[in-house]
Structures are given as C-alpha cells and as structure tokens.
Structure 1
Amino acid sequence: MASPIPTKKLKDEATCAICLSLMTNPVSISCGHSYCQKCIMDFLQNPNFIVAGKEKFCPQCRAPFEEQSLRPNKQLGNLIQAIKEMSHEIVCEEHGEQLQLFCEDEGQLICWRCERAPQHKGHTTSLVEDVCYGYKKKLLEAVTYLSKLNNECVNMKVLTTEQISEWKGKIDVQRKRIKSDFKSLHSFLREEEKLYLWRLKKEEEQTIRRLKYNNEILEEKQSELQCAILELELKCQSSPQILLKDVKNTLNRSWAVKLERPEAVSLDLSTTCNIPELYFDVKRKLRSYQVNVTLDPDTAHPKLIISEDRRQVTLGCCQENLSSSPRRFSAFRCVLGCEGFSSGRHFFEVYVGEGTGWDIGVCRENVQRDQHMNQMPESGFWTIKLCKEKGYIALSSPPVHLHLSEQPLVVGVFLDYEMGYIAFYNMTTGSQIFTFPKASFSNTLQPYFQVYPYSPLFLPSSDE
C-alpha cells in the first residue's frame, strides 16, 4: 500500500482550484496552472470574472491568458487515474469480489469465485500478498536491466555525438585542403596559360617576320619582271630598226631570267598545349622540369658539412684547411647549388623534414656573401624561410608571413627564367606555398640554401 502522506500530496496537486475535486479532463493555461475543462470553460463564460477589454485572468495567480492557450494535460490525467486506482480496491468485473488471488498460469488477478470457475481449474494460484514481493523483485531486476541498457544507450549517443563532431572536423579539413589544392592548381594553370600564350606570340612573330621577308623579295622580283616586260613591249611597238637592234641579246637576257622561290615557311603550329594533362597532376608537371641539384663546396660556409655525394648539408664545427675562395659565404651559414640557370624552366626539391629552421630558394650568382648580405629580391635573393619565432616567411619586399595548413616535409622550387616566375610548393600535398611577384632576370641564378642547428637539408635526385 502506498504511504498516505505522498498520496495526499498527489491529491492536492491534482485538485481543481475551482471545484476543489480531482480534475476531470484536466487542461493547462499559459501560466502553467491546470483546471477541469468544464470548470475553466464555465469560469470563462461568467461575466463577473471578465474585466474591461475582455481580458481573462487565471483564478489562482491572476496572470492574463487567452482562451486559445488551453491545452489538454494528458500527463496530469494519467496521474489522476493512478490516484483513483490507489484510492479504491480493485474488484472483479465479473463477480464483484475483491481480487485477492493471483493466477500464475494466466498471469492475472482473480477472485475466489474465479478460482473455482472452469477456466482456472488446475491452475496455480496464490494470495496477492504472497507473490507480490517476488514479482516486485523481478520488476526491480527488470528495472536494473533496462537502466543498464539505458546507460549503454546514453554512452552510445555520446559516442555518436563525438563521431559526428570528429567527422565534421575531418570534412572541414578536407574541404580546406581541396580548396587549397585547387587554388594552387588555378595559379599554376594561369602561369601555364601565360607561358603558352607567350610562346604562341613568339612563334607568330617569328613566322610572320619570315613570311614578310619572303614577300619583300617577291615584290622586288615582280618589279624587276614588270620593267623587263615593259621594255620588250616597247621594243615590239618600235620601228624595225629599233626592234632588231641588239634583239638577240635582249632575247637571251629575257629567257635567262629565273624566278627563285623563297624559303618555304611551315604553317604547322609547334606551340600546343594539352590542358587535360596539365590539369591531371601538378606534381607530375612540375617534376617534368626537375633537375639534379648538387651542393657546391667552394661556396659553403666553413661550419657547413657537405656529404660525399654533395646532396646533404649539416651545420657542424668550423672546418680547417678549406680552400680560399671568393665565392665562399663568410658571415651566414649558406651554400649554393652547382647548377646555374640562365634560361628555360627548372624545378628542384629539398627535403627539410621536421627541421626547425631553413632558408631555401634561388639567388644571382654574384650576390654579396659577407656581413652586408641582404636576403631580399632587390639584392638578388628569392627565398622563403622557417624560423622558430615567426614561422614561415616569404622574404619578399616587404616580407610576407605564410599560414600553412600542413607542415611541408619536402619543398619544391620552380623557376621559369623567361617569364620571371619563381614559386614554392609543398610537395607533401602538391599545394602552392608562395609565388614571388614577376621579376626580370639578367644574370645566372643558382639554388640557395641556409642551414640552421639540428636542421639538415637533403637534395633528392630526380630518380627518387
């Protein structure tokens, strides 16, 4: 049996403030109070409770509300039904007797007369008080089981929420990567377009120049032939004496005239561009211009150690017995590549790994190499760098701080000498890092490297 005190509290909560009885068909208004549906409707129709302006107020808290705000309160209705069931003994619908027995076979409450009826003959029956504890225990076990499932459900919901967040994060990263890759691709294709249009223009100018030259020669020949024809026509119209004068030499000269054909000029275009191939793979296109760069020991600062194959450089102790060379860097720990570029397109890669500092790019072969060296384009340097304090920087004028989504392990350097184009790529992702403003080159350019502690640089060959 339920405790009378909680039951009384429940009854108080479920009692209508208008009729002071358990609510029938309870409805709620906008302020949160509930009443019998009939009671509140009668209240609304009573003119004594309507003030000027036809506003209606809650009978308990006097808060204004609209009639349209009435909503059935099904939960309160179920609670009232439960209170009614606790307040009265349940009786058998068929016999009107108290249901004091429980049929184990049928799993239902029965009265003593039901027990004697044919439909329950031979069934196992027990007093309600005797079986209640056992079934209550089973119900509590079921509650424990369902609570465990509920906790698992909650944990799975938390996990699913975390997975949604993680998945959205991955999608966001991938979206940024795709945008960055296509931005690099667009930039690369624009430069490719400029190059091919420049080549096409040069081819046009060259062919037009040759054709115009041929045309000038033909015009001179045509003028010469027209003069000869006019001379012969005049001779034919003259007197016999003039016509026959030196006639044989005139005829011999006329038949000796030959028309030399100008040099043939091909009208087949040599500048062609395969757009799908360019679009297919930026890295593959870049590597089609790759050159094998090796380090020049005669330019290396005394503290730089170069490997035997001249592909790796490390910062170490100052070396003695080095050859004296005016090409050697004396103030900054730099070294140049052996290869020089004075025309064409070239590409080389530098493995920087997870080093904390490096400077990479190209420079003019005649740059200053002492303490007055200024690593800027106006002084002949086109480089980018990584430093601990400021991160990635393009040493342009003025310097530009670079915000990279991923750390490059391999940096690619691309040079188009005629176009004045120098660009840097993250070869780990194939995305562009930075492109210098267009320059005009007049000297030989060489690969340039500056080395920092614990950050060796390695030059992979084009076969690797």
Structure 2
Amino acid sequence: MSAARNLRSEDQFLCSICLDVFTDPVSTPCGHNFCKNCISLNWNINVPCKCPMCKEAFTPRPYLRVNTFISEMVAQFKSAQQEARSRRSEQRRAKPGEVPCDVCTGTKLKALKSCLVCLASYCETHLEPHLTASRLKRHQLIDPVENLEGRMCTKHDKPLELFSNTDQTCVCVLCTVLDHKTHDVVPLKEECEGKKAELGKTEAELQQMIQKRRLKIQEIKHSVDLCKENADREIAEGVQVFTTLMASVQRRLNELINAIKIRQKTTEKQAEGFIKELEQEVSELMKRRTEVEQLSCSEDHLHVLQSFPSLKDAPPTKDWTEVSVPPPSYQGTVVRAVAQLEETLSKEMRKLLEAELKRVQQYAVDVTLDPDTAHPELILSDDGKQVNHGHVRKTLPNNLERFSHYNFVLGKQSFSSGRFYFEVQVKGKPKWNLGVCRESIDRKGYITLRPQNGNWTISLRNGNEYKALDDPPVRLSLKSQPQKVGVFVDYEEGLVSFYDVDAAALIYCFTGFSFTEKLLPFFSPCRNDGGKNSAPLIIFPVNQTA
C-alpha cells in the first residue's frame, strides 16, 4: 500500500508534456497542471490555445502564474526523492569486508557480481551491460570476490578451472596440455565437492570440540559456583564461631571484672566500718580530753575532787592492735578465668573439628590393598582390607610394583584429581606408618619417608612417639592415642590431612604441595616384633564403629 501511494504521488507531480517532475508548475483554467515553460512553448506553436490534456480551447490566451501550493508540494517531493536516493546509495555503499565496485568513481558501491573474464567486480548499475549485452552475457559471473588476479594462471593468463591431484594445485586449460600433460586433473567443481566433504568432517570435529569446551566451561562455572557457595558457607560459619567466641570472651571478662570489683567492695565496706568505729572512739576521746583539760584548769577545789573519780581514767575503747584491713589477693583470678575460657574454646574447637571431619568424610572412597605391591613378609586378608607383618618371607614374583626392602603396601586405587578420604584402624599397634605416596615412589631401593621422596605420612614408634614425616620431621603432641586415623587429600589444593576419628581432632596437615602424579594410599604395619606389634592395620568403611 505504501509503495502504491508513492507511485501515485510521483505520477501526480509529472508534467504530461515533458514527462518529468514539474518545474514552476502552473494551472490552466480547466484545472490541469503543466510546467510553465512547457505550456508556454505549446501555446506559442498551437493556436488557438488548447489544454494538451482535455483539448479545451481558451480565448483569449490565459495569463498563467506559478501555482505556489503545487510548487511547494513538488519541492517536498524532490527533497524526499533526494533523501531516498541518498539512503539507497548509503545502503549500497561497500562496507569494510565487502567487495567494492571496480567501475564506481567517488563513493564505491557494493559489488553484486565479479566477472572472471573481465577480472572486475560490478555494482547493480555497472552490472547491467553483462545482463543485457549478448556479447557480455557469455562471461562467467560469480559472487563478488577480491583479488580476481589470483584466479588467473600467472603463466598462461587463463582462468584456473582445473585441479591437479598430482601437484595438488589449481591449473588452467593450457597447463593440462603443456606442464601438467600426464597429471591427474579434474574440474575444480569435482575437487571442490571432495574437499567440501572433508570440510564437513572437519566441521563435525570442530563442533564436537566446541561442544566439549562448552561443557568444560559449564563445568568450570559450576566449580566456581560451588567455590563461592563453599566460601560463603565457611565465612558464615566463621562469623558465627568467632561471634560466639568473642561473646564468650566478653562474658568471661565481665565476670572477671565483676568478681574483682565485688572483692574490692567487700574490703572497702569492712574498712569503712572500722573507720566509722574508730572515728566514733576518737570523738569520745576528744570529748573526755576537753573535760580533763577544763577540770585541770578549774579553781573550784570541791568540783575537782568530786569530778576526779569519773575523769581520771580514759573511757573504754576497743583494742585495735590486731585489727587490720589487708588488701585482697587476686592471685589466680585471671588464670582461672582464662582456664574457663580455654575450656569454652576447646568445646567450640571440637565442634568445628567434628563439622570439618563430617565434611571430609563425604569424600570417602573404597580402598583395598594391592597384593602386587606388598612386601613378601606382609600378610594381606582375602578382602584386601587388613595387613600385618608375618615371620616368613614368601616367594613372590619380583615385579616392578612390589616393595623389596620395606614392609610397605599400597592401595589399588589411584587418584589424580579431586578429593578423597579413607579411615584405618591402628588400635593395638605400637608401630605403624600411614598416608599417601606418588605412583613413582622407589619400590626397590632404600628411601626416607618424606615429601621430597613422594611420601606424605605420619608414624608411631614405641607406642607414644608420634611424628609427621615432613622435612624435617615434626614431633606430634597428641592428647589421646588415636584408635582410628582418617586420611584426607585435596589434590588441587596440594593438601594431605590426618584426623583422630574418635576424638574428632586434627593430627597433622601437609600443605602447599603441587601434585603432578597419581597418588595412592600408603600403609606400613611395621615389623611384628615378636608379637608385640602383631595387630593388623584395618581399612574401615567410613562411619562404621570398630
């Protein structure tokens, strides 16, 4: 509808004599409109004056004035046409990345086609001869491309229309007759279809790679979300715990201050009573002294003699010799308050450790002992959950995985990412080693258990000497002897932690390491020692009571 209205509007502004848009439009008495110059020339030739449209004659010749209303409408129409042409020209202008017309001067319009014969690209206007002229219609037109010279054979100046499978290069017709006469040559289209099939496979591979990476992005984003959730939870728990601790500290401080102030006030009250009593006695003694002074100065002999018996002795008073107000002793008050605070802190710490232990127990894995790694003197249970030292060295294959010099055995399961946790009963054993090690640990030579050699372990010797086999080893002071030890590993964090499961206490933590190999659970029940250390190390399911 809009296009139709525009066409009708354009027809209304066309002069029927010159068939162009009105110039200085005038109206004849019959109501038709013409260019002023066009109708004037017409009437100069044709007499009498007639309307070219309806043939109505006018006598005398009308005096014509420019129709200002139509003139203004024509001006608006021309302006709109100019704006429309400008918009169309702007839309057709070659933008960055588009092929420009090689014929356009000034503003380069976007090319619609490229000619392989002319080696030029043409916009809509300049393409017209190739669509109408019979000689140019035979030219090969393609979608617009740049560097048309690169599509011509540099040796024979002919279009590259064929492909040599022998040389894997594009050639022209003359090349097949001269330089590539015996070569396997096929049309570009045929070779292109084969290459497109290969591209289809490549596209499928790329799509698969893209999909995998998108899934990895989602996985990483999910990990970030989990990280934020964990961080928020830890912060919330930390705030709650430290708020409780600060409140407890403040409460204990207030209790300490109140206790000291009460003792201080009691002492002050006792002292105030003594002072009041003493001041009363002083007042009475001063009164008696005044009476004695007055009697001594009296000239009334009879009065002196009569009053003497009652004033010769001091009034009865309290013996203050043994009375004193020693300052109260606050010895031990602060110590007792700190001890009570320490007890509160210990309770809160135990709660924290219990919560932490529950969290790491969520990463529990099913670990079984690997008989192919066990030293020949070790005895493993059929289910692979227990190990102790025997007295006899068994004859076993000396495979690469087996330990030859030390009473060590590894778990079958290995881990190269994430987190894992397992628990081992050490009850009744005065000697043992426990932890994790890297897969490449030396299994044939003599080694020292420490992180530099690929071991993260703790040990017990002589029933009460606990050590973390760090570098240097760290002697551990434990409040109780663990009956069951939990081992937790966070591969990405480079962390190995040991827990006393029953006491919900942290034994030791290796931190700040960078794991690059697979890690395996590590066990050593140590030697039997004539039955003193015959109890086995037992891998227990998490949360199962021994």
Work out whether the TM-score is over 0.5: no
Greater RCO (CA < 8 Å, at least 6 residues apart)? 1
- Using structure 1 for the length normalisation, give the TM-score: 0.44
- Using structure 2 for the length normalisation, give the TM-score: 0.38
State the structure with more CA Rg. Answer: 2
